[in-house]
DNA sequence: GTTTCGACCTAG
DNA sequence: TCAGCTAGGTCGAAAC
């Protein structure tokens, strides 16, 4: 039902994992035959166990509100009092959180005073960019194990079944509670969040319910009070919402470089600019103040490149922001030093995450000053920072290109081929790593000398070879020492984007590895051709073709595949349809000729259940071809075109639908049976407005298809989804010939895993 | 048929 | 008192 675990941290008494399915099952185990009694017993148990922290997966938006609702419905009036404040009722309220970084999301918030809630789903969504955030896929990603999802619609059946089905349900519930805890332990989420709360001085709950601003504000308050500053309650400045110019991205010299490309980076560029020039609210001065205080240019204050904004020097008054930044960066330095010493790969990942978090926190100080919708926007600071940054990257380019020349005794003229914000990629013209690194070191030191402390240009890595596709898009083999490369680094291209299908990601990744690591261009071409051929012959697993996109708005102006699908799913089953902020998974199915993509998107599970054919040519033309051409064109030139034509594209296998009526229905839905006009808005009417006057026979036909479909769909839970053989247990097929018989194996393993869990906690059933 | 623009996601 | 920033590529629907 619940798992309780003591934490190493002496301040946390225990951590409590919640899964609201559990009480339902517990009716058997605990002999509370009345659900109301059971809920009350659960509440009493929580009070007795007195947890400091309650964790779970999606507890904030599902389990807690569900329990409260259920108790209200059953009139268990004493239930909502499991917080630590006696007499304070636990209540659920709706909130809406909207941020550019985290997206817009409708949330429920439950107050359980005195107990921390830590929803691992929210943690995962904030800290990790994943394609899917189901417990299943997150665990597969981080723990290498998964549970089969139990569709909510069969939970009641499992419960009302027999001891065996209830046992199965109980195991699911236990795993549901156990996996979030494993996840939390392995990623050290709780510890990292506690540290973040300590560093920034915000209440723990803010870390999951609020954004970056509150953290900066909080640090600002801390520093301000030390120096007897009072922060104005709210600055109501008009015209603060005008945009300001950001960073420079140097025009790339696109192409494939089979020579070492040296990368030079400013470390923490924006924070170091703010520190170097003492930029802060407390150091900004205007003409009147300069006159009143008799300040002198250069010796007392500096003029920045943004509209001649003026700031006093640190000797006159040290700014609050620069000292906050110093704290954050020294903490990061320590994390990085620890990282160097640590050998355990997982702790390394954690330390790496921590230093990244501190870096993000430091960077968001600049973002905070530029947040026009925020509490203390100050364009003088943010725009000065970016203006300095632009000057610096330009100057760096000039310095490198003017010093490393044949005229100055070097073997070649250096050329900056690309740069973004705080980095420059330099082609020194040498053909080996040792020289490229030596020159990089020399250049970094040379350029650093041209700037104020603590601004520092660092040599970190060499790319060799390097494929520069466009601004913010490149790939290269990453070297930090000349003996062995570190990794294949890709930026911006399909391998790191989540809005492509896995097929594209894998093909591009493999081709890049073949080209950049194995130096086998013809092998890469052959591989790409093979995949294209497989795709057109339907040999690619559907899981490779699933595309996911975030549903980020509630009102869209243009039609899109994932938005239309979410709407259709809501009509089928409002309970399991994606909601605002969720990622919608879809595949593109065959439809009428010329139909738009948004008419051909479909839920992968639905497609699997109904054996709907996939539009493979869409995947070739709209998903694979352009990314492939982009990486092969710089290498092969015009010959790259041959990838997309030739014998391998000729063999096209047309799958014939195996379940006629079903198939027809599924494919026909998006268009009118009468005139083939796509049905856009009222797809549930099945016939378009144009045809409506003469429904008659056509409508009847459609209705019977609908009926047939619904009957068969309802039976799917007792039939195998592929071969229609009868299922003796849940979704396990009885026929070994069935193409999805492996599901049985998976499920068996699942039971074994869960049994091990049971044993560990000495549960008896 | 071409251009514009909204949406998504990423780089830094 | 909800909400870090700008630059930029790419895709596909809508507008022309």
State how far the Cα of A146 lies from the Cα of A136, in Å rounded to an integer. Answer: 5
**Nearest-5° Cα angle at A724, A720 to A727:** 40
For the CA of A558 and the C1' of B7, the distance in angstroms is: 9
- Quick check: A743 pLDDT over 70? no
Distance A300 CA to B9 C1' (A): 44
Distance A264 CA to B12 C1' (A): 14
Say whether pLDDT at A25 is over 60.
Answer: no
Helix (H) or strand (E) holding A290: helix A287-293
Tell whether omega for the bond before A120 is within 30 degrees of 0, i.e. cis.
Answer: no
What is the model's pLDDT at position A237?
57
Residue A651 pLDDT level (bands cut at 50, 70, 90): low
C-alpha A105/C-alpha A99 separation (Å) is 9
Average pLDDT, chain A: 82
Structure tokens at A399: 């310095």
- Rounded to a whole number of angstroms, the CA Rg of chain A reads 30
Specify the higher pLDDT residue, A436 or A538: A436
If you measure CA to C1', which residue is closest to nucleotide C11? A622
Q: Nearest nucleotide (C1') to the CA of residue A270?
A: B12
For residue A371, which nucleotide's C1' is closest to its Cα?
C4
Nucleotide nearest to A496 (CA to C1'): B10
| Nearest nucleotide (C1') to alpha carbon of A100 | C3
Q: Is the CB of A765 under 7 A from strand B?
A: no
Q: Decide if pLDDT at A506 tops 60.
A: yes
The separation, in Å, between residue A443 CA and nucleotide C3 C1' comes to 41
Question: Looking at strand B, which nucleotides approach a protein CB closer than 7 A?
Answer: 6-12
Give me the CA A324–C1' C1 separation in Å, rounded: 22
A121: CB within 7 A of chain B nucleic strand? no
Q: Report if CB A267 to strand B is under 7 Å.
A: no
Range of lowest pLDDT (A39-43, A108-112, A597-601): A39-43
Residues A227-244: what's their mean pLDDT? Answer: 75
> Beta-strand (E) ranges in A226-266?
249-250, 255-257, 261-266
Give the three-state DSSP class for A612: coil
pLDDT digits (tens, 9 = 90+) for A598-634: 999 999 988 887 888 999 999 999 999 999 999 999 9
Q: From residues 217-256 of A, list those within 7 angstroms of strand B by Cβ.
A: 246-247
Which nucleotides in chain C have some atom under 7 angstroms from a protein Cβ? 1-14
Q: For residue A628, count CB atoms less than 10 angstroms from its CB and return exposed for 0-12, middle for 13-18, buried for 19 or more.
A: buried
Can you list the positions of beta strands (E) in A271-398?
A: 284-285, 301-303, 310-312
Query: Which residue has better confidence, A138 or A759?
Result: A138
Q: How far apart are alpha carbons A162 and A101 in whole angstroms?
A: 47
DSSP A173-192: HHHHHHHHHHHHHHHTHHHH
Question: How far is A601 from A587, CA to CA, in rounded Å?
Answer: 6
Chain centroid to Cα A41, Å, comes to 39
pLDDT tens-place string over residues A390-431: 999 999 999 999 999 999 999 999 999 999 999 999 999 999
pLDDT of A232 over the 90 cut: no
Give A278 or A739, the one with higher predicted confidence. A278
The gap between A24 CA and C9 C1' (Å) is 50
A200 touches strand B (CB under 7 A): no
* Look-up of token digits 């040792």: A434
Q: Is the CB of A472 under 7 A from strand B?
A: yes
How many CB atoms lie under 10 A from the CB of residue A3?
20
Among residues A91, A94, A75, the alpha carbon closest in space to that of A36 is found at: A75
- Is the distance between the Cβ of A84 and the closest atom of strand B smaller than 7 Å? no
Distance A382 CA to C5 C1' (A): 8
Q: pTM (2 decimals)?
A: 0.82
What is the model's pLDDT at position A644? 84
Cα dist from A372 to A212, A270, A324, A627, whole Å: 14, 18, 21, 37
Question: Residue ranges of the alpha helices (H) in A428-501?
Answer: 433-448
């Amino acid at each position: 039902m619940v798992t309780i675990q003591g934490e190493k941290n002496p301040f946390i008494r225990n951590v409590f994992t919640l899964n609201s399915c559990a009480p339902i099952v517990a009716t058997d185990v605990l002999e509370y035959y009345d659900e109301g009694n059971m809920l009350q017993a659960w509440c009493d148990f929580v009070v007795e166990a007195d947890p400091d922290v309650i964790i779970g997966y999606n507890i904030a938006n599902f389990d807690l509100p569900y329990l409260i609702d259920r108790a209200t419905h059953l009139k268990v009036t004493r239930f909502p009092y499991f917080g630590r404040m006696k007499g304070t009722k636990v209540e659920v309220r709706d909130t809406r959180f909207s941020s550019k970084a985290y997206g817009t999301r409708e949330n429920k918030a439950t107050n359980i005073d005195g107990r921390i809630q830590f929803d691992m789903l929210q943690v995962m969504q904030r800290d990790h960019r994943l394609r899917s955030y189901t417990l299943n896929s997150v665990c597969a990603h981080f723990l290498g194990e998964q549970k089969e999802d139990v569709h909510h619609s069969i939970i009641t059946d499992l419960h009302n079944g027999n001891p065996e089905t209830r046992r199965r349900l109980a195991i699911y519930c236990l795993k549901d509670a156990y996996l979030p805890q494993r996840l939390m332990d392995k990623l050290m989420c709780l510890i990292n969040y506690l540290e973040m709360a300590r560093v920034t001085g915000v209440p723990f709950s803010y870390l999951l319910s609020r954004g970056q601003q509150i953290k900066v504000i909080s640090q600002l308050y801390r520093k301000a009070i030390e120096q007897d500053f009072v922060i104005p309650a709210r600055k109501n400045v008009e015209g603060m919402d005008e945009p300001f110019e950001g960073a420079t991205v140097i025009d790339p010299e696109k192409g494939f470089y089979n020579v070492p490309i040296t990368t030079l980076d400013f470390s923490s560029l924006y924070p170091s600019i703010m520190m170097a020039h003492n930029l802060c609210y407390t150091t900004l001065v205007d003409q009147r103040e300069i006159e009143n205080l008799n300040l002198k240019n250069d010796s007392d204050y500096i003029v920045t490149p943004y509209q001649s904004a003026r700031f006093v020097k640190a000797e006159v008054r040290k700014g609050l922001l620069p000292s906050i930044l110093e704290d954050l960066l020294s903490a990061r330095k320590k994390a990085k030093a620890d990282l160097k010493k640590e050998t355990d790969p997982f702790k390394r990942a954690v330390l790496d995450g921590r230093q990244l978090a501190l870096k993000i926190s430091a960077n968001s100080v600049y973002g905070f000053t530029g947040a026009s919708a925020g509490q203390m926007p100050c364009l003088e600071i943010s725009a000065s920072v970016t203006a300095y940054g632009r000057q610096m990257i330009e100057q760096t380019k000039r310095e490198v290109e003017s010093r490393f020349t044949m005229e100055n005794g070097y073997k070649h003229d250096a050329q900056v081929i690309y740069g973004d914000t705080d980095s420059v990629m330099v082609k020194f013209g040498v053909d080996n790593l040792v020289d490229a690194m030596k020159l990089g070191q020399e250049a970094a030191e040379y350029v650093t000398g041209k700037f104020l402390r603590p601004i520092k240009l660092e040599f970190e890595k060499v790319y060799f070879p390097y494929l520069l596709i466009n601004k913010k898009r490149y790939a290269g083999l990453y070297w930090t020492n000349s003996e062995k490369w570190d990794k294949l680094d890709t930026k911006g291209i399909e391998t790191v984007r989540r809005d492509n299908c896995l097929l594209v990601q894998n093909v591009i990744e493999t081709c890049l590895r073949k080209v950049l690591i194995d130096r086998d261009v013809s092998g890469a071409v052959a591989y790409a051709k093979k995949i294209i051929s497989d795709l057109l012959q339907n040999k690619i697993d559907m899981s490779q073709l699933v595309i996911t996109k975030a549903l980020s708005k509630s009102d869209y102006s243009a039609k899109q595949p994932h938005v239309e699908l979410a709407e259709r799913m809501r009509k089928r089953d409002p309970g399991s349809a994606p909601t605002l902020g969720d990622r919608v998974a879809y595949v593109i199915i065959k439809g009428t000729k010329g139909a738009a993509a948004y008419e051909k998107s479909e839920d992968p599970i639905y497609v699997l259940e109904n054996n709907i054919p996939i539009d493979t040519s869409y995947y070739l033309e709209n998903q694979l071809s352009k990314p492939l051409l982009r990486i092969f064109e710089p290498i092969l030139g015009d010959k790259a075109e041959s990838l997309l034509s030739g014998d391998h594209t000729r063999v096209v296998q047309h799958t014939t639908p195996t379940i006629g009526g079903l198939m027809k229905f599924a494919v026909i839905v998006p268009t009118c049976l009468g005139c083939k006009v796509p049905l856009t808005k009222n797809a549930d009417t099945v016939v378009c407005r144009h045809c409506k006057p003469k429904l008659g026979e056509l409508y009847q036909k459609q209705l019977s298809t609908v009926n047939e479909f619904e009957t068969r769909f309802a039976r799917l839970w007792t039939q195998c989804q592929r071969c229609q053989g009868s299922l003796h247990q849940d979704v396990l097929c009885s026929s070994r010939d069935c193409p999805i018989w492996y599901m049985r194996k998976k499920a068996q393993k699942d039971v074994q895993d869960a049994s091990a869990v049971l044993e560990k906690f000495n549960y008896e059933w």
